[in-house]
Structure 1
Amino acid sequence: MEEEFNFGYNDDPQRSVERYEEMLRNEDQYFFDTHAFENIIDYYVEKNDPVKALQVTEFAISQHPYASIFLIKQAQMFLVTNQINLAFKALDKAEMLEPSEADIYVLRGNIYHGLERYPEALENFERSLTLAENTDEIYLQMAYVYQNMQDYENAIRYIKLSLEQNMENQDGLYELAFCYDVLDKQEESIKFYQQYIDSDPYSHAAWYNLGNSYHKLNLFEKAIDAYDYAILIKENFASAHYNKANSLVQLDKFAEAIEIYKHTFEYEKPNADTYCAIGECYEKLEQMDEARAYYKKSVKMDPKLADSWFGIGVTLNFEERYFESLHFYKKAIDLDGENADFWFAVADAHYKLGQIEQSLEAYAKVTEYNPLDIEAWLDYSTVLYEQGKLLEASETIAEAIKNNPDSAELYYRMVAYLFAMGHYNDAMGYLETALRTDPEKHHVLFEYLPQLQDNSSVIDTINRYLR
C-alpha cells in the first residue's frame, strides 16, 4: 500500500524538490500544496529540463484539478517541447476554470504570434489587457506582432504605451529605435528620446539611442555628447563606447577613436569587428604596420570577416605590393563576391601590374554591382581609352550616363571621347548637356583633354553658360 505524505507551503523550494524526487524513487504518493508544486516546476524549468517540468504539471493537475495555474504551466511546457495542439488544449481547459486569468490569453497570443497568425495573437493580447494588472509587457508583445506585420507605426504606438506604464523597460527603448530607423524618422526619434530624458535623465539606454539617432543624421558631435552621457551613467556600457568611437571616425579623429575602441576591451572581450575597426583607423593614419597587425588579429578571430581580409590588401597596396594585395582582395571577394569596393581595388591592382584584361574584367564587376559609382565608370572608360578602344570607352560612358543622368562629370568625359573620335557635332551636344547640368565643373574637361582650351567653339559655349 502506498503511503501519502503532505508537503505544504512552509517547505523551502529545495526541500520540495528533494521530496518530489524521493517520491518518484520510492514510487510513493505524496501530496504537495500548490505553492510546493510551483517551486518544483520552476526548479526544472531553471534547469532547462522541460520534460521533467511537464511531468510535474501532470502530477500537480491530478492533485489540484481546479487550479488553472498548472494548466497554464503545462501549456508553457507543451509549447517549449513543440506540442502546440496540446498547449492550446491545456489553455482551453484553463480558460474554462478561470476565464479572468490574463496569463491564459498572453500565452495563447504568444503561440499565435509564433505561428504567424497575427490577428488571433492581437485578439488574445487585447483580451489580456482588460484582465492584467501590469500591462507594459503585453503592450510590448503587441508591438512585436505589429513589427512582424511590418506595421511600424502601430508598433511605435504600442511601445510608447508600454513605456508609459514602465519607463525602465529598456527593451522598449531599443525596439522603438529600431522602428524609427526602419521608417527613417530620425527627427521623430530624437524628439521622443529628448522628451524621455526630460522625464528620466538617468536612463543610459535613452541617451544611447539618442546618440544613435544623431549619428544616423550625421550629427556626429551631438552623437558623441549623447554617448558621453550614457557612459557617465553606466561606465561599463561597451556599446556606447564603441559607437562613440564610430562617430569619432566620421569626424576623422582616428587616433581618439582607436583609444576608445581599445577602451571597450575593459568591459567586453575583444572581437573581430572591433579589431577590424581599429585596423581601419590605423590605415587612415597611414600606419600600415599597425593596421595590418589589427586586421590579422581580426581574421584570426573570425576568418569569415571579409572587410579584414580586404584591409590587409589595402595596406599592401599602399606599400605598392600590388601582387600580394591581390591575394587578400580575392580572399575578401570569396566571402563577399558582390562587394563593388572589393572589385574596384582588384581592378586597380591589376591595372598597376599591367594586367589590363583582368583589370577591365574587374571594372565590369564594379559597375555591375554598383552602377552609381561615378569614379568606377570614369576609371573603367579611361583604361579602355588608353588601350585605343575609343568606341568602347564612349559606349561605357553612355551606359554610365543611363545609370547616372545627373552626373556632369560623365557628360564632360563623353565630350572628350567624342572629340577624340572626331564626332564634333555630337561632342558639342553633350557639352551643352554637361553645362546645363553643372557649368562650374567644366574644368574637368580640360584636365582630361587640355588641347580643348584652344578650341574656340568649346570656349565660346562654356562662356555662354558662365555669364
Structure 2
Amino acid sequence: MISDPYHDRESIDELLKHYNNLRNGGSGIFLEEEAFEKIIDYYDEQEEISKALEAAETAIEYFPFSAPLLIRKADLLLATRKYREALELLERAELFDARDINLYILKTDAYLAMDKHEQAVELLEKAVASFEGEEKIELLFELADVYDDYEEFDKVFDCLKVILEEDATNEEALYKICFWTDFTGRNEESIKLHRAIIEEHPFSELAWFNLAAAYQGLKLYEKSIDAYQYALAIDEKFDYAYRNIGDAYLRLRKYKEAIEALEKVLELSKPEEVIYEAIGHCYDHLKNYAQARFHYRKASHLNPDDSKLYYKIACTYYNEGQYGSAIKQLESALKIHRLQAEYNLLMGECKLQMNEIKEAVQFLSTAVRVRPKNISGWEALIRCLYTAEFYTEAKQQAQAALGHTNNKAVFLYYLSAILFAMNKSKEALLYLEKALSTTPKHLRKFIQLNPSILQNPHVVDLIAQYKKGRR
C-alpha cells in the first residue's frame, strides 16, 4: 500500500468494501496498485483462488502495464493449472519489467508443469548470467532444484558450488552441498572448495564440518576428526559434528572415543535409536556385553518393532554363554521376522549348546533354506548333525552344501570327517586329500570337528605328506 493517511487507516475489511463497491459499479475512492495487491493476497491466503483471480483481472484493467500485477495473476493461473495462459501473461510482464526474477521462477514452474525440462533449464541458465548478488543466488537455487527433479545430480552440486563461490557463508548452500558431496562422491572438489572458504572465513563451523565430511567420504578418518574438532571448537553444541566424529572413531575401531562422542550427541539432541545402537555396538566390540545390552535395550524402547535389536541383545548373551536368555531375545526377533536367516542360525546354535538337537536342526535347516548360498548356515547345520551322530543326514547336507556354494573346500573337509565317522576311511582320505590340495587353511575346521582324528596314522601321514610337498 502507498503511504498516505487514508491507506494507513484502512483495514482489509474496508479495502474489500471499497473493492466490492468498485466491482458493482458504484462510485468510491480510487484504489491504488498496492491496494489491489493486498486484496489479491488476502483472497489467496484465504484459498479463494477464483476471487483472487477476479481481483487480479480487475486490477489489470486499471493498471494494464503493471508487471507485478501481471506476474501475480500468472502465479494464480499456475495454481489453477492454466500453464499456457500463465506463460502468455509472463511474456507481457517481461516487456514492462524484465528484471523481476519472479518472471523466471514462474516461467520455470510453468515449463516444468508442461514437462518442458530443457526449456526450464535454458531459461534459468540465461537468467543466472543476467543477474548479480542475491537475485543470482536465488535463481541458482531454483536451477539446482530443477536439476534435482530431473536427476542431474552432478549439476545440482555445480550450482551449489557456484553459490558458495559467490557467497561463501550462505548457510543454505553449505547445508545442501554437504549432502550432495556425499551423494555424488565429489569429495576432492568439496575439500578444495571448503579449504578456500576456511581461508577467508576461518570461523565458519559449517565449512569445517563439510571439509570433515568430505575427508570422511574418502575414508581419511584421522583428517576428518581433526576438521570436526575445529567445528566443535567454534560451536561446542554442534551435535551433528559429534555424531559424525563418533562414526569416524568407530571406523578407526577407537571405540572408547566413539562412545564419548556419541554420548555427547545424546546430551545435545533428542534421543535416537541409531545413537543408542551405535554405542551398544562399541561396547560390544569392547566385550562389555552388559553395557552393550543396556544401550541396545534403550534403542529397542524407541523402536520396539526393530527385530535386529533383539538379535543383537541375543548375541551379547550368547557371547557370555547365557543361552537361555539369548533364546528369549531371539523369540522376540523371530516373532517380527520369522524367516530371517541370522536369527534362525543363532537360535540353532543356542539350541545346540543346550543339547536340544531336534529343535537346533529345525532352526538351522530354516537358515540354510532361506539363504542357501550362505556358508556359515551350512557349517552350523552339518556340525549339529555330526555332533548328534546323525552321520547319514550330515553327509547329505554336506553334499548339498557343496552344490549350493560352488564346491567350497570347507565342505570337503566336513564330508571327509563324516566319512571317517561312518568308517569309510578310504573314501574319507580321498576327500581329505582333495580338500588339502584345494584350500589348506580350513584343515583346522576338520580337526575341530573331531580332534581325535589326529590319532589316525593315515590322516597324520597325509597331512605330513602334503606339508612336505608344499615346502
Once the two structures are superposed, the pairs formed by residues 382-393 of structure 1 within 5 Å of their partners are 382-386=383-387, 387-388=390-391, 389-393=393-397
The amino acid of 2:412's aligned partner reads M
CA contact (8 A) 1:135 1:165 kept: no
Distance 2:64 2:335 in 1: 61
Counterpart in the other structure of 1:161: 162
Counterpart in the other structure of 1:434: 439
Counterpart in the other structure of 2:71: 72
Say if 1:189 and 1:10 are closer, same or farther in 2 by CA, change over 3 A.
same
Distance 1:189 1:333 in 2: 44
Counterpart in the other structure of 2:423: none
CA contact (8 A) 2:87 2:110 kept: no
Counterpart in the other structure of 1:212: 213
Counterpart in the other structure of 1:102: 101
CA contact (8 A) 1:223 1:247 kept: yes
CA contact (8 A) 1:292 1:312 kept: yes
Say if 1:418 and 1:126 are closer, same or farther in 2 by CA, change over 3 A.
same
Counterpart in the other structure of 2:415: 417
Q: CA deviation at 1:241?
A: 1.2
Structure 2 SS opposite 1:356? helix
Q: CA deviation at 1:434?
A: 1.8
CA contact (8 A) 2:43 2:51 kept: no
Q: CA deviation at 1:277?
A: 3.0
Q: CA deviation at 1:383?
A: 2.8
Structure 2 SS opposite 1:135? helix
Distance 2:430 2:329 in 1: 47
Say if 1:312 and 1:424 are closer, same or farther in 2 by CA, change over 3 A.
closer
**Percent of pairs identical after alignment?**
25
Distance 2:206 2:46 in 1: 34
Counterpart in the other structure of 1:89: 85
Distance 1:434 1:266 in 2: 51
Asked if residue 456 in structure 1 is aligned to residue 455 in structure 2, the reply is no
Q: CA deviation at 1:218?
A: 3.9
Counterpart in the other structure of 2:263: 262
Counterpart in the other structure of 2:25: none
Counterpart in the other structure of 1:8: 2
Q: CA deviation at 1:348?
A: 3.2
Say if 1:362 and 1:284 are closer, same or farther in 2 by CA, change over 3 A.
farther
The amino acid of 2:68's aligned partner reads I
CA contact (8 A) 1:34 1:60 kept: no
Say if 1:319 and 1:12 are closer, same or farther in 2 by CA, change over 3 A.
farther
Structure 1 SS opposite 2:82? helix
CA contact (8 A) 1:75 1:91 kept: yes
Structure 2 SS opposite 1:228? helix
Once the two structures are superposed, the pairs formed by residues 343-354 of structure 1 within 5 Å of their partners are 343-353=344-354, 354=356
The amino acid of 2:466's aligned partner reads T
Greater mean deviation of Cα atoms: 351-360 or 287-296: 287-296
Q: CA deviation at 1:192?
A: 4.6
Counterpart in the other structure of 1:3: none
Distance 2:344 2:197 in 1: 45
Q: CA deviation at 1:417?
A: 2.0
Distance 1:12 1:348 in 2: 86
CA contact (8 A) 1:397 1:414 kept: no
Q: Match for 1:358 among 359, 362, 373?
A: 362
The amino acid of 2:106's aligned partner reads L
The amino acid of 1:417's aligned partner reads L
Structure 2 SS opposite 1:98? helix
- Larger radius of gyration between Structure 1 and Structure 2: 2
Say if 1:218 and 1:50 are closer, same or farther in 2 by CA, change over 3 A.
farther
Asked if residue 122 in structure 1 is aligned to residue 116 in structure 2, the reply is no
Say if 1:147 and 1:98 are closer, same or farther in 2 by CA, change over 3 A.
closer
Distance 2:371 2:6 in 1: 70
Q: CA deviation at 1:198?
A: 3.9
CA contact (8 A) 1:109 1:123 kept: no
Q: CA deviation at 1:96?
A: 1.8
CA contact (8 A) 2:417 2:446 kept: no
Alignment: residue pair count: 439
Q: CA deviation at 1:93?
A: 0.7
Distance 1:12 1:345 in 2: 81
CA contact (8 A) 1:57 1:71 kept: no
The amino acid of 1:415's aligned partner reads Y
CA contact (8 A) 2:348 2:363 kept: yes
Structure 2 SS opposite 1:455? helix
The amino acid of 2:86's aligned partner reads A
Once the two structures are superposed, the pairs formed by residues 27-426 of structure 1 within 5 Å of their partners are 27-29=20-22, 33-35=32-34, 49=45, 51=47, 55-56=51-52, 58-63=54-59, 64-76=63-75, 83=80, 85-86=81-82, 88-98=84-94, 100=98, 101-110=100-109, 112-113=111-112, 117-133=116-132, 134-184=135-185, 186-187=187-188, 189-318=190-319, 320-332=321-333, 341-353=342-354, 354=356, 355-364=359-368, 367=371, 371=373, 374-386=375-387, 387-388=390-391, 389-399=393-403, 401-402=405-406, 410-418=408-416, 420-421=418-419, 422-426=427-431
Counterpart in the other structure of 1:4: none
CA contact (8 A) 1:54 1:78 kept: no
Q: CA deviation at 1:293?
A: 4.2
Say if 1:400 and 1:185 are closer, same or farther in 2 by CA, change over 3 A.
farther
CA contact (8 A) 1:329 1:346 kept: yes
The amino acid of 2:413's aligned partner reads V
Scaled by the length of structure 2, what TM-score is found?
0.75
After superposition, the CA RMSD in angstroms is: 4.0
CA contact (8 A) 2:365 2:381 kept: no
Gap runs ≥5 in structure 2: 23-28, 420-426
Distance 1:340 1:56 in 2: 61
The amino acid of 1:268's aligned partner reads S
Distance 2:223 2:191 in 1: 11
The amino acid of 2:13's aligned partner reads E
Q: CA deviation at 1:375?
A: 3.8
Distance 1:305 1:242 in 2: 21
Distance 2:292 2:340 in 1: 21
Q: CA deviation at 1:126?
A: 2.5
